[in-house]
Structure 1
């Protein structure tokens, strides 16, 4: 029997860190389950093979992208359009990496997994709890979130296969999700220009390329953001007050309307 105190302490410490990661994931994970169920129902109604849900949830693991992929696959969207859409939708993850504690993960395979499992919920947990991260805690938190998501998807597929008829309007789940996120992000006056630019990008997309509306609107919105950022930066250089929409987007959301206006 191995009674090395150092080895025993390391094992206990790793187990404790894994338990901490699981606890940190619980609240966000329970929120992922119903969304995963909606994803599974959407897969069942598509109709796509049942294994599409766990496969996408394991390989892709990006909630909004997976919901969108179901619609794109059913519509027979060209692969190039799918790739561009997914890239633009997930481009924000590049900026997540600047403050995500990936450095605590030592193993190369584990680090690759942590990069792939960097979803919005994992980033939110990491930024809320800024200190104390270890490799086991971070990986346990991310793996638990993925288990919650895969479980929800499997439950949704199973439930969808038992329903006697399709649920009308279920394909609106992704649109409803983005509407809620947009409303949550636009609680203060500083975010209003972002909403206006997004609406203008949709109008341009409808006018210019209605057949590729999503990709066109994404591209136009990114262009709007870049132009607005450059204008705001030039205004600061010449001493004029200028609101940077990218900085406005980074302002933490507050439940206090008076605080939001300050």
Structure 2
């Protein structure tokens, strides 16, 4: 009786947790493969720029692992080397990463279980992870799969920064144009996003906001353009919701 009961219970329990997570890990590897190479190369670029800025190579994996904020890390190199006051660094970080506040509105954090898992998913939320996890094909992804994808993305970034920093320290060859790599990645992500959902007003609105910001406040182009674009999207959503409610 006891043995049969134990067998029944073991059948209900299913395979161990690490075996249950393997399909999610394999799926996350496939999901992240498209941006994984780009993140590794960008991380390598960050590592090279760190060394070219006369910082120790280990600052590259430190920035990549602790800050992990993409464009902010590239800005942070200049801020650190210029001994910028901490208050100005904090303000810059707030302006550059303020878009993450809006990411949280649609990021599927509710699928992730556990307080620490949710905290980590929030910490490593990046543009690439957001673009992948909020796409139409990701609506059925489990929380474990999302978490694996974010962990892999950070791993690509940190590994790239480590390789780039250590290689630049061993082979001090000056490379030009590396600071454009992050911009190139965002362009590719924007193109992929348009291909997935061919919503023409969105890129047109983004372009108009950038041009207006360039004319009105060229010294604060990025925060101004992001603010205008966010306001335009909110207005559009409000109008769309109103039209749907009337229908």
TM-score in terms of structure 2 length: 0.75
The reply on whether 1:195 has 2:202 as its aligned counterpart is no
Tell me, yes or no, if the aligned pair for 1:101 and 1:133 is still in contact at 8 Å.
no
Partner of 1:17: 24
Alignment length (residue pairs): 228
- Please give the alpha-carbon distance, in whole angstroms, between the structure 2 residues aligned to 1:189 and 1:15: 40
3-state SS of the aligned residue for 1:76? coil
Report the alpha carbon displacement of residue 132 of structure 1 after superposing the two structures with TM: 2.8
3-state SS of the aligned residue for 1:98? helix
Partner of 1:134: 142
Report the alpha carbon displacement of residue 109 of structure 1 after superposing the two structures with TM: 0.9
**Aligned-pair RMSD on alpha carbons?**
3.4
Report the alpha carbon displacement of residue 150 of structure 1 after superposing the two structures with TM: 0.6
Structure with more helix by fraction:
2
CA deviation map 1:161-192 (0-9, x unaligned): 12344224444545665677788889957634
Partner of 1:149: 157
Q: Residues 171-186 of structure 1 correspond to what in structure 2 (within 5 A)?
A: 171-174=179-182
CA deviation map 1:72-102 (0-9, x unaligned): 2223333223222222222222222222221
Partner of 1:221: 225
The reply on whether 1:6 has 2:18 as its aligned counterpart is no
Report the alpha carbon displacement of residue 198 of structure 1 after superposing the two structures with TM: 2.2
- Please give the alpha-carbon distance, in whole angstroms, between the structure 1 residues aligned to 2:140 and 2:229: 35
Partner of 1:256: none
- Please give the alpha-carbon distance, in whole angstroms, between the structure 1 residues aligned to 2:36 and 2:112: 21
Please, which runs of 5 or more residues in structure 2 have no aligned partner?
1-5
Change (3 A) 1:79 1:166: same
Return 75-84 or 42-51, whichever deviates more: 75-84
3-state SS of the aligned residue for 1:124? helix
1:87 to 72, 94, 104: 94
Report the alpha carbon displacement of residue 202 of structure 1 after superposing the two structures with TM: 3.7
3-state SS of the aligned residue for 1:25? helix
- Please give the alpha-carbon distance, in whole angstroms, between the structure 2 residues aligned to 1:159 and 1:120: 27
Change (3 A) 1:228 1:131: closer
Change (3 A) 1:217 1:77: farther
Report the alpha carbon displacement of residue 228 of structure 1 after superposing the two structures with TM: 5.8
Tell me, yes or no, if the aligned pair for 1:46 and 1:70 is still in contact at 8 Å.
yes
CA deviation map 1:10-49 (0-9, x unaligned): 5332332233223322222122111111111111111112
Report the alpha carbon displacement of residue 131 of structure 1 after superposing the two structures with TM: 2.9
Change (3 A) 1:35 1:101: same
TM-score in terms of structure 1 length: 0.71
